Amino acid sequence: MPARMKLSSVYSTLPPAERKVADYILAHPDEATHMVINEIAHEAGVSVPSVTRLARKLGYSGFMDFRVSLASGSAAVKREINMPINTSDPYELIFQKLIGGHIASLESTLKVLDTAMISELADMLFTARRVVWFGVGSCVQLAINVSDGLCHMGVDSVVIGGRSERLMQDYSKRMGEGDLVFCLTRSGKTQRTLNCLKSAKENGATTVLITNLVNSPGEEYADYFICTSRHDDLYRISGYDTGTAMCALLESFMVLAGMKKKKYSGHDPFTPYKK
């Protein structure tokens, strides 16, 4: 296991002095690989023995052994992971690149995400007449996860996705003023979902489209358009459009909503709502 991963895995069990060392190394990993033990101790504000104890707790013979492990191959691995995936790559490297791609999709999403808009939508959850989620395939489970959490907070939230096309379309026509409608489509082209978005919009509901496609044809029917990032190499190789960023977005959105609910009502946002 890489040194930094070991450090992260034991972090919560460390005493205060050793945690200070871990904090410094995790915040300055590249610098730490070129520093002597006295410099690490000084920057962390601890004694030299605290640094040694941490190294040994991680399974190293001493600080030098830990520093070598911390530096060993990290730059080369980063360069390889950030390169495109080739079918001729060793399977172990392909796996590393795929994980790296998921991480990159999260970072890309965070860079372009309008967090003020997300916060505004979280406020609207508690003033909407009802919150309705549309989607098909794997998007349904993502919607269920966040909708269930909202229901625990007292929000009238329901998932209609994954039903027959006729049922989804019939329900979308019942949407109107005061309703907040979320439509999830990773490809941005799922016609059944986009039809529901269009219908809800035409009937006066406030609509939100969450997709991986920046130029989705559904954007014209969305009051709020949120584009997350996909892992292109994974899509190119397997035809599978990853929902990593969308999943992280929705889970974070639910947590934010929970924090706002606590602010509004005094209830613990992560326990069942009680009137």
What are the extents of the domains in the chain? 3-72, 79-110, 114-265
pLDDT tens per residue, range 246-268: 999 999 999 999 998 876 555 55
How much is the average pLDDT of 101-127? Answer: 90
**Burial letters 111-149, b for 16+ CB under 10 A, else e:** eebeeeebeebbeebbebebbbbbbbbbbbebbbebbeb
User: Is pLDDT at 75 greater than 50 in this prediction?
Assistant: no
Q: Is the pLDDT of residue 195 over 90?
A: yes
What integer pLDDT is reported at residue 122 of this predicted model? Answer: 95
Reply yes or no on whether the pLDDT at 198 is more than 60. yes
- What spatial distance separates the first Cα and last Cα of the chain, rounded to whole Å? 49
Over residues 35-40, the mean pLDDT reads 93
The one-letter code for the residue type at 201 is K
pLDDT digits (tens, 9 = 90+) for 238-248: 666 678 899 99
- SS3 assignment, position 157: strand
CATH architecture of 3-72: Orthogonal Bundle (1.10)
Residue 16 pLDDT: 93
Phi-psi region of 204 (alpha: psi -120 to 50; beta: other; left: phi over 0): left
What is d(CA 275, CA 155) in angstroms, rounded to the nearest whole number?
12
Percent of the chain whose pLDDT exceeds 90? 51
Q: Where are the alpha helices (DSSP H) in the chain?
A: 3-10, 16-27, 29-32, 37-44, 48-57, 63-71, 74-81, 91-112, 115-124, 138-152, 165-172, 191-202, 232-238, 244-265
pLDDT of residue 243: 83
For residue 38, give the amino acid letter: N
Distance CA 80, CA 140 (A): 35
pLDDT of 236 above 80 = no
Q: Which of 59-73, 91-105, 172-186 is modeled with the greatest confidence? A: 172-186
Say which DSSP state 161 is in. Answer: T
For residue 83, the model assigns a pLDDT of 67
Tokens 């030098």 -> residue: 64
Mean pLDDT of 91-107: 82
- What's domain 114-265's superfamily in CATH? Glucose-6-phosphate isomerase like protein; domain 1 (3.40.50.10490)
Which residues on neighbouring strands pair with residue 207, listed in sequence order? 181
Q: Is 175 exposed, middle or buried (0-12, 13-18, 19+ CB in 10 A)?
A: buried
Backbone CA torsion sign across 86, 88, 93, 95: positive
Query: Which whole number is the average pLDDT over 4-17?
Result: 82
In this prediction the pTM is 0.69
- Mean residue pLDDT across the chain: 86
- Between 272 and 182, whose confidence is greater? 182
More confidently predicted of 170 and 71: 170
pLDDT of amino acid 212: 87
pLDDT band at 38 (very low <50, low <70, confident <90, very high): very high
pLDDT of residue 264: 55
181, 207 Cβ separation under 8 angstroms = yes
Say if residue 77's pLDDT is above 70: no
Residue 162 is encoded by which pair of tokens? 């994954």
Summarize the confidence of residues 135-161 as an average pLDDT.
93
